[in-house]
Structure 1
Amino acid sequence: MSLTDTTVELPPVGAGRPATLETRDVSAWFGDHKVLERVSLTMPPHRVTALIGPSGCGKSTYLRILNRMHELVSSAALAGEVLLDGEDIYDRGRRITHARRQIGMVFQKPNPFPAMSIYDNVLSGLKLNGIRAARADKDALVEECLTKAGLWKEVRDRLRQPGGALSGGQQQRLCIARSLAVRPRVLLMDEPCSALDPTSTRRVEQTIGELMHEVTIVIVTHNMQQAQRVSQQCAFFLAEHGTPGAVVEHGPTEAMFDSPQDERTSDYVHGRFG
């Protein structure tokens, strides 16, 4: 019997096991252009890690490396290790689909399937991963994930309407619900609020705060106030004078903003450049 013929009972979101994500000496290239230089960083469970820094310093590239999206670019190359609870997700014996199921991604621009219903959008990741579930389990899963994403009360009476009919903020929370449905242990977010109004941004930030106890969260943001609001630790990336992006400083968010050790960090978080 194939996987697609199997009914699978999924555990709760995160299954109580948010993971430690760690990189060791990660460097990255696009062709001959080196974009990241030996980035070593630990992103612990039960914490939100914010990646901050000016545009072009490699934050989004680093985020994509964390769930093996970097290798989708034909000219891309990588050195170093990406460890999920101590196991390298780039080991030859590990399937790329397995890595992406455990490490989900929410993008800058909401990308629900516009013609697909809200209900089917939430479940679409299960289909992509070859997982089938009983109808009652699907109904429960949709309600659970939309609740976790802070969207259930707003859409519970129109689950069969297209996901593309939702507002931008609702679409982004639908994308979060879709990511949660496959039970990731880590959730990566690439500027998830950059295109949203303040009310929608506040809703997404509330969702992040509620989810961090169930999945490890790593977020790229250019909004320093947002980094302070949602994260417990920060890493400041910088690329200077044509050099590859690197981590200048990382540590608890409060310390990074109130008493940074590097003058460049202080200048950036206080808006003196970037």
Structure 2
Amino acid sequence: MSALNETASLDLDLTREAGAPVRRDSPAGLETRAVSAWFGDHKVLDRVSLTMAPGSVTALIGPSGCGKSTYLRILNRMHEMVRGAALAGEVLLGEGDIYDPGVRPAEVRKRIGMVFQKPNPFPAMTIYENVASGLKLAGIKGVDKNEVVENSLKRAGLWNEVQRRLRTPGGALSGGQQQRLCIARSLAVSPDVLLMDEPCSALDPTSTRRIEETIGELAEQVTIVIVTHNMQQAARVSQHCAFFLAGEDQPGRIVESGPTTQIFEAPADPRTADYVHGHFG
């Protein structure tokens, strides 16, 4: 990883003045440069370079086992939590490399949140406590919790459904509501980026539609990167797409990336066309 210069260090200032969430005029973008990844001796990604534009949705598509979820976890430093994992290349949030030795992983995750495939609210906590826990986990103090909880639930499209039962268990919500609760928990710390790993794969069509609506409502406020195997979903929610593919005994890499309309309507690579039209994968 390259060392941060003075300008980059200023851009990657991950502190919170007076413990409060930072309110920015616009979210930062993400960029990876020649990122490769290993689990032990097994190389899973090879020189992946991708720009994820600020305030937009980028969909990562491709067959299972091509490294999409690994790549997503690299974007907020979860990859290094796996024993034997290794990484090469750069991951830039704005101008600064999040893997610079002077940058703490916990600080990165305040600005780059993650929503997982299966909703994971804290079952022993109320709806209110689930959202407020995002502040506690991030070490943010001196804020109006009531305001943060309400605003986060509104941004996640859940406030109208739960405002009269904030003191009931979060685990009692439906699957789709639990997923939006997890989104609200991530939004409580005002991240620049929200990573989503197949957030609708365990949900019914109605809940999936509501999550997609939430993504659309958040897109201009937060940079979103979503892994999905649902081509219709990728076409509906994203402005940019990256098609990952791995060969037999070959690590995953990006075959093609670009505007979603181009990837689905006029892809440059025949493998991309075959995948988005359902001919394999």
8 Å contact 2:200–2:211 — kept in the other structure? yes
Q: Tell me if the contact between 2:127 and 2:169 (Cα under 8 Å) persists in the aligned partners.
A: yes
How many angstroms apart in 1 are the aligned matches of 2:226 and 2:138? Answer: 24
**Deviation at residue 20 of structure 1 after TM alignment:** 1.2
Deviation at 1:11, TM superposition (A): 4.4
Q: How does 1:186-201 map to 2 (within 5 A)?
A: 186-201=193-208
- Residue 40 of structure 2 corresponds to 31
Cα gap change, 1:11/1:89 in structure 2, threshold over 3 Å: closer, same or farther?
closer
Give the aligned partner of residue 220 of structure 1.
227
Q: Please tell me whether residue 77 in structure 1 is matched to residue 86 in structure 2.
A: yes
CA distance in 2, matches of 1:232, 1:186: 15
2:272 pairs with 1:272:
no
Partners of 1:9 and 1:55 in 2: CA distance: 40
Q: Letter of the aligned partner of 2:229 in structure 1?
A: H
Is 1:55 matched up with 2:64?
yes
Tell me how far apart the structure 1 counterparts of residues 93 and 104 of structure 2 sit (CA, whole Å).
14
* Percent of aligned pairs sharing the same letter: 72
The offset of 1:9, in angstroms, is: 3.8
Correspondence list, 1:1-274, <5 A? 8-12=19-23, 15-134=24-143, 137-274=144-281
Match of 2:19, SS state, is coil
| Structure-1 separation of matches of 2:25 and 2:218 | 11
Aligned-pair CA distance for 1:122: 0.3
Displacement, 1:7? 6.1
TM-score, normalised to structure 2's length? 0.92
User: What is the Cα deviation at residue 131 of structure 1?
Assistant: 1.5
Contact preservation (8 Å) 2:19, 2:139 = no
CA distance in 2 between counterparts of 1:148 and 1:226 reads 20
1:59-102 Cα deviation digits (max 9, x unpaired)? 00000000000000011000000000021000000011111111
Unaligned runs of 5+ in 1: 1-5
Q: Distance in 2 between matches of 1:75 and 1:148?
A: 38
Which residue identity lines up with residue 47 of structure 1 in the other structure? S
Tell me if the contact between 2:193 and 2:222 (Cα under 8 Å) persists in the aligned partners. yes
TM-score (norm 1): 0.95
**Any unmatched runs of 5+ in structure 2?**
1-16
Aligned length: 265
**Displacement, 1:241?**
1.8
Q: In the alignment, what sits opposite 1:3?
A: none
CA RMSD of aligned residues (A): 1.1
